[in-house]
Amino acid sequence: MERKLNAELWDKMHYLFRDYNDRMVHVELHYDFELDVDVLKTVLICFFEKAPVLHSSFKDNHVSPYWIVKPYRIDDILSVSYPTDVDSAVNDFLTQYIPPDSDIQMKVAVFFHDGKTTLCIVENHMCMDGGDFKYFLKAFCKNYNDYAERKISPIDLREGSRSYDQVYNDFSKTEQRMARNLYKNVSSKDNHKFPLTPDSIRDRSFIARRKISAEKLAQVKAAGKKHGATVNDMLLTAYFFSLYELANYNAYDSVTIACAIDLRRHLKDVSDEGLTNHTAWMQCNIPERGQTIFETLKYVVHSSNQFKQDKFMGLYGLPLLKLGYNILPHAASEEIIKIGYSNPLLAMSNIGILEVDKLALCGHEPTDGFMTGAVKYKPFVLLSATTLRNVVTLSMCVRGNDEDQKIVEHFFDLMEKNLDTLAQG
């Protein structure tokens, strides 16, 4: 009999984002040994069985969409190869797109080269966000090790509800009622754009990346402490300042960058929750650029502190979305939500630290790697940041041309320059 899964609110929202991005989440990890493909296959099959949404096809039903669980073979998910040009193979793999109506929603590639392994995974954001993807990777490595070293069956993956309203679980009854009444449209209304070229049929997806060294990060952290700023604030400040310069915004213009926030912050224990999305946007706004980058930093710290004081941070708008999807059939509610929702043109997602000890496979910690969000369609951009071995990888996934790639690279140059200035402050 056909098994169906409920399409949760965030599944539908990410499906709606098809006009703005390709909805793929990417990860790349490098290991200095050759991992065991048979073990990998076993772990992957177990995880796919534990999280059936990963081998389900999204059915865009006009009344109420749903997932249909599909049969699969491990070879549909995992590809193993020995490429001569690893970078090119990795890039080709990571920039692929998995359609939501495909039978599987995650693809894994293993590239062997010179006795080393590059592990790449691409998954549909509709299934889970960066927060749960990080958990997935850690659970994957733990289960891989347990199975490879002690023959313990790799079935230790969280299972449970994927519903958006799990975020209210740890609130008191009164707080729950308050949070469920936060009917507010919190979409960004800023029209400042990243200066990319106009859309073209020849555009292709690319992932631009830049590393910030561990030494530089330490300096940035120390400088941030002096100003009462977090690393996130420092990165955001450099982002703002670089944008004013790159796009020639008027220095007195107010600019907003949407920052992804993990709504799991409202949960004490997530052990009985399924893999899902719990991410919202926080609109970080500065009234003007400021005379110096430190003035910009002051504005950023002020703005982010305001949000941090809010006990319902990120929960605004959820009841409105729920209402939108509840009162009308899916096709109609999508149109209504599109009218009220404006996707942020400028966004940042600090995915955080990829802990090498938890991502170690049979005692081999990853030597390098990063995780990044979806490939955005112009004019939308998302700057992702991940930290591995104290090295920050900034990345931007864009569907564009060579000129766009140059613009993004120039933006990273400016980011580096501005982070240098901040580090000296």
| Residues at the interface with another protein (CB under 8 A) | 38, 41-42, 45-46, 48-49, 71-75, 147, 151, 153-155, 174, 177-179, 181-182, 184, 186, 188-190, 254, 256, 283, 285, 287, 303, 306-307, 309-310, 312, 316
Q: Which is nearer to another protein, 85 or 310 (CB)?
A: 310
User: d(Cα 387, Cα 367) in Å, to the nearest integer?
Assistant: 12
Residue 169 CB, nearest approach to another protein (Å): 18
User: d(Cα 38, Cα 45) in Å, to the nearest integer?
Assistant: 11
Residue 155 CB, nearest approach to another protein (Å): 5
Residue 54 CB, nearest approach to another protein (Å): 11
Q: Which is nearer to another protein, 153 or 367 (CB)?
A: 153
For residue 100, cis peptide bond before it (omega within 30 degrees of 0): no
Q: Which is nearer to another protein, 46 or 223 (CB)?
A: 46
Q: Which is nearer to another protein, 74 or 332 (CB)?
A: 74
Q: Which of 383, 122, 34 is closest to 237 using CA atoms?
A: 383
Which residues touch 114 (CB under 8 Å, ≥6 apart)? none
Q: Which is nearer to another protein, 173 or 226 (CB)?
A: 173
Count other C-beta atoms under 10 Å from residue 101's C-beta: 11
Q: Which is nearer to another protein, 84 or 309 (CB)?
A: 309
Residue 309 CB, nearest approach to another protein (Å): 5
Q: Which is nearer to another protein, 74 or 222 (CB)?
A: 74
Residue 289 CB, nearest approach to another protein (Å): 16
Q: Which is nearer to another protein, 56 or 285 (CB)?
A: 285
Residue 260 CB, nearest approach to another protein (Å): 16
Residue 153 CB, nearest approach to another protein (Å): 4
Residue 213 CB, nearest approach to another protein (Å): 34
341 token code pair: 């929702």
Task: Identify the residue whose tokens are 């169906």.
Answer: 4
User: d(Cα 162, Cα 8) in Å, to the nearest integer?
Assistant: 7
Beta bridge partners of 122: 26, 107
Residue 121 CB, nearest approach to another protein (Å): 18
Q: Which is nearer to another protein, 123 or 404 (CB)?
A: 123
